[in-house]
């Protein structure tokens, strides 16, 4: 029979939001259990340099930061479980969730901190060449394109950082953006424009990724000018799609209120969702700020909201008794 694990505070996700909720929850005596999910540590584990997380004068590494957060959470009493939730029942308390291997989890409160995932262009050629030249993570896969021509698609912080990162491996990096200005922070733009190995192609959208060779790999990216419609081709053996993220909320559709973009709706100024006792924090509920430090901040809020919710529920139960 499948094991059942019960807790007062069940946290889904182990990025900065989930682990901050765990640290605060553990220190409040809620003995939280963190179900780590598909990518333990979250998006920061596929980032390299982090220079905007307060408290570190020197540049630190994303995976190292997440390791520290996990150690800190465990040190104060949170428990990590290496599992992924595949089923949720929020219709009654304690809430009941099921893990990938059949383990049943019950929680008096739930903190959803499942984050967001990289978005794709959804081209058939992209799907076909994924893992063979097309990737959504330069910091994970960039190493394989040493000395090769590469293209990065997008105009936000991620795309610019990935283009700069790729110069560690390649002297021929092209950033392809669909408009004529970037939305990335100015400091990153300045670094990008000053870099001798990076060229920017403006007003271009990807029509398709072109494969070739034996074994087949990416050889070029076919582009269309968004103003003139002119089609051109850029030689590239690596193509990195960096066009933003989608919230990891598939599991919660129809079970909790989501906004039009699929992010979990929370009551303004809190982490309360449409279900009493279920809280959401980090990128899964925030499409505006999406920073490690804001995710950590909302993780802290979620733990405080859980604590308050449990205290009120216990008080009501004692009055009713």
Residues that bind ligand NAP (CB under 6 A): 52, 121, 153-159, 161, 178-179, 183, 205, 243-245, 290
Q: Which is nearer to ligand NAP, 177 or 272 (CB)?
A: 177
Q: What CA–CA distance (Å, rounded) separates 240 from 162?
A: 8
The structure tokens 């990518």 sit at 39
CA nearest neighbour of 271 among 247, 310, 305: 305
Beta bridge partners of 246: 117
CA distance 143 to 246: 26
* Cβ at position 203, least distance to ligand NAP in Å: 10
**CA-to-CA distance for 225 and 126, rounded, in angstroms?**
19
C-beta of 107 vs 247, nearer to ligand NAP: 247
Q: How far is the CB of 197 from ligand NAP (least distance, A)?
A: 20
Least distance (Å) between residue 58 CB and ligand NAP: 16
Q: Distance between CA atoms of 184 and 175, rounded to whole angstroms?
A: 12
Q: Cβ closer to ligand NAP: 149 or 245?
A: 245
Residue whose Cβ sits closest to ligand NAP: 156
Among all residues, which ones are annotated catalytic? Answer: 137, 140-141
Min separation Cβ 182 and ligand NAP, Å: 7
Closest contact distance (angstroms) between CB of 172 and ligand NAP is 21
User: From the CB of residue 196, how many other CB atoms can be counted at a distance below 10 Å?
Assistant: 7
Torsion sign (Cα): 299, 43, 184, 202: negative
316, 310 Cβ separation under 8 angstroms:
no
Spatial contact of 99 and 105, defined as CB atoms under 8 Å apart: yes
CB of 268 to ligand NAP, least distance (A): 19
d(CA 218, CA 133): 5
* Residues 6 or more apart whose Cβ sits within 8 Å of residue 64: none
Say how far apart CA 146 and CA 153 lie, in whole Å: 18
Residue number, 187 or 311, with CB nearest to ligand NAP:
187
33 versus 173: smaller Cβ distance to ligand NAP: 173
Q: How far apart are CA 90 and CA 111, in angstroms?
A: 12
Nearer to ligand NAP, 231 or 311 (CB): 231
């Amino acid at each position: 029979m499948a094991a059942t694990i019960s807790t007062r505070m069940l946290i889904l996700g182990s990025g900065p939001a989930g682990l901050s909720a765990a640290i605060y929850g553990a220190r409040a005596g809620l003995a939280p259990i963190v179900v780590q999910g598909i990518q333990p540590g979250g998006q920061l584990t596929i980032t390299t340099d982090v220079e905007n997380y307060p408290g570190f004068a020197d540049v630190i590494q994303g995976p190292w930061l997440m390791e520290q957060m996990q150690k800190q959470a465990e040190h104060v009493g949170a428990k990590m479980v290496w599992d992924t939730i595949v089923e949720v029942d929020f219709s009654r308390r304690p809430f009941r969730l099921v893990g990938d291997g059949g383990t049943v989890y019950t929680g008096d409160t739930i903190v959803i901190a499942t984050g967001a995932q990289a978005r794709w262009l959804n081209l058939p050629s992209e799907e076909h060449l994924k893992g063979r030249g097309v990737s959504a993570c330069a910091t994970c896969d960039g190493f394989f394109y040493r000395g090769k021509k590469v293209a990065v698609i997008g105009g936000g912080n991620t795309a610019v950082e990935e283009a700069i990162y790729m110069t560690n491996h390649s002297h021929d990096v092209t950033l392809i953006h669909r408009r004529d200005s970037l939305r990335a922070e100015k400091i990153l733009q300045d670094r990008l424009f000053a870099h001798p190995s990076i060229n920017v192609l403006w007003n271009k959208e990807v029509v398709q990724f072109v494969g070739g060779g034996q074994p087949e790999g990416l050889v070029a990216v076919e582009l269309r000018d968004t103003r003139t419609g002119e089609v051109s081709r850029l030689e590239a053996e690596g193509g990195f799609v960096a066009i933003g993220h989608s919230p990891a909320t598939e599991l919660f559709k129809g079970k909790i209120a989501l906004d039009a973009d699929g992010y979990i709706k929370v009551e303004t100024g809190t982490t309360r969702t449409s279900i009493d006792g279920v809280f959401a924090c980090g990128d899964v509920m925030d499409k505006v700020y999406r920073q490690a430090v804001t995710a950590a901040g909302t993780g802290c809020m979620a733990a405080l909201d859980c604590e308050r919710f449990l205290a009120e529920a216990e008080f009501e139960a004692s009055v009713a008794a």
